[in-house]
Amino acid sequence: MQDIKEEKKNKLKDNIKFLEDLSNNLNNSIIKLKTLYEQIDKRKEDLKSKIQNIFTKIRTALNEREDELLLEVDNKYKTLFDNEGIIKECDKFPNKIKNSLEKAKLIENEWNDNNKLSSIKINVLILKIILKI
């Protein structure tokens, strides 16, 4: 009986030792697993940060390119179509036409007089200058 008791006691000690080792191994594995998950989480956050940085750079580059293209369009249209200059010139047309009509009437009157042939030549030259013919 004593032998069986000793045998059971030794077996119990062996089982306790086995369970303690198993528990230690399990705890070590849990610690390693937690460490691994922390590393994975850190890598995930790093990756997200890199993606955000890349897209920020892309958006910045797109915004800069958009600004460049808009400025280029403005400059091209300003060069090709000087709106202010065209409008100023158009505003001068009624006065130029009025002046031209007055000069033409003077020329007509002088033409009828036949005495002022030389002044007609001068007035024709003035008319050409005004009309830029």
Q: What residues of the chain score a pLDDT lower than 70? A: 81-87, 90, 93, 107-108, 110-133
**pLDDT tens, position by position, 80-111:** 766 666 667 767 767 777 777 777 777 667 65
C-alpha separations of 102 from 31, 105, 127 in Å: 104, 5, 10
What pLDDT score does 82 carry? 63
Task: Report the pLDDT value the prediction gives residue 24, as an integer from 0 to 100.
Answer: 96
**pLDDT of 5:** 87
- pLDDT score for 72: 94
> Residue holding tokens 């369009």?
73
Q: What is the pTM of this model?
A: 0.48
Domain range list for the chain: 1-81, 82-133
